[in-house]
Structure 1
């Protein structure tokens, strides 16, 4: 495999778009942060080509998140290409992540690893639930301490909070959401009751992440209302497709109720410490 250059950007983006459901993170990062470096989500790419056309891409952010989009599973070539690279996380199609971890010798390195059902929805098929009495508002409209507490609870429940100080992580996350206007809060009348957001955004596609309903308010259809209203907002400005992976059976049920259809399994692997690839 070879390292991509800035001259390859259009070809890389085209390949990732053809594999959009498993490539939302690297493609959205490329769209927003580019390939020149200088931001934790700026991207680098290793390419495998056959007869001049890309067949596989391994994308890695400056922050060490690795995203395989490798239909032909070129793991030996990728291990050699990535020698000396530091990997903090691996996210992508579950089968590809399993093969890649084995090839890089990282099966035992994870501080957290999960596989979740993976869903897709053309927004023409969005099923709107009854939202009478509910409104979806920008994150800034909700009390800051409340949404920080919600985010901390989300990190704890999902075990995504690998840092020692989840309070600090929750504050950092909420501040980042406010900066890019990626998240919304569902209000029942004047009461905030749930949060939803997009963790990867393209002009025509979004990936849902960070959906949270406080435990005492669950099983009332609040998450599906929040997500549906957010997707309706996105559809109104030209977004035509939504992707997500679901953290629980209850979440899967909520998403299926508004039209999402399962397309596979998505893996998330987080390392407590960066892992250096050895050739």
Structure 2
């Protein structure tokens, strides 16, 4: 493994695109924030990256804010060991990637000793949008592109999502939800569905690249669950993206109920995906 340079960006992009199902965060970050510069002032999602192969066949990155993003189709432990000295001393708040790749990183870097608010393998799904199945009764809902008028409900739902799904500390959830909502509104990544004029569910995109999106932040208030609302929210968002030319979507499910909703609109399971968030953030190699 060697440190990636600006001249490597096209080759990195081609590699990540070829493995997009497990590389959406890295692919999206590369397009939006690019590679980080050592000692510079870097956007939070810019990446310090290491690559192997010619053409690129392995990729490990850590964002400026501390998320580890590996894409290692083979020989994962070997590549983690190769880059471990360069990662030593860096601050990490999480790791996400294909389950086997992430597991190898935990073992090599000793991350199993770190405290975590979330550390689990989740079922991983993909859908070619030509096969999207819009649920029966979809015409009962109004799809809304949210603006400032919808900010209060978005922030409340996002804070609840952080508490319930991501394990964010209650003292931090509201502030994080405000930042997430700022980004969602600025990038136009979220859709709400309304029933009788009242918001009942939402779905968002947490990573995007040419022709493919990754769904995230799906939320229905507890008192409205069990009615299939999430599948309508996701289907509405993906139908819009399909019209705009997006061909594929991926996601990972936080619960069995969520998985059933995704299967109901055409998603098929492709594996497992690991999401780990450390609390407190860990200094790698310590």
TM-score interval, smaller chain = over 0.9
Residue 162 of structure 2 corresponds to 155
Which has the larger displacement, 162-171 or 108-117? Answer: 162-171
1:116 to 108, 111, 122: 122
Over 3 Å counting, the alpha-carbon distance change for 1:220 and 1:163 in structure 2 is closer
* Whole-angstrom distance in 1 between the partners of 2:102 and 2:36: 26
2:198 to 173, 178, 191: 191
Contact 2:36–2:64 under 8 Å retained in 1? no
* Whole-angstrom distance in 2 between the partners of 1:247 and 1:7: 37
Query: What does 1:66-145 align with in structure 2 at a 5 Å threshold?
Result: 66-71=68-73, 72-73=75-76, 74-111=79-116, 112-130=118-136, 131-140=138-147, 143-145=150-152
Residue 63 of structure 1 corresponds to 65
| Cα shift readout 1:192-241 (whole Å, capped 9, x = no counterpart) | 11011000011311000000001111111111011001001001111000
Over 3 Å counting, the alpha-carbon distance change for 1:180 and 1:160 in structure 2 is farther
RMSD (CA atoms): 1.6
Over 3 Å counting, the alpha-carbon distance change for 1:249 and 1:213 in structure 2 is same
Contact 2:163–2:170 under 8 Å retained in 1? no
Question: Which runs of at least 4 in structure 1 moved beyond 6 Å after TM superposition?
Answer: none
TM-score (norm 2): 0.92
Contact 2:26–2:69 under 8 Å retained in 1? yes
| Cα shift readout 1:108-155 (whole Å, capped 9, x = no counterpart) | 214221211000101011111121121211122753222211111111
Deviation at 1:53, TM superposition (A): 2.7
Equivalent residues, number: 277
* Whole-angstrom distance in 1 between the partners of 2:2 and 2:228: 48
Contact 1:117–1:266 under 8 Å retained in 2? yes
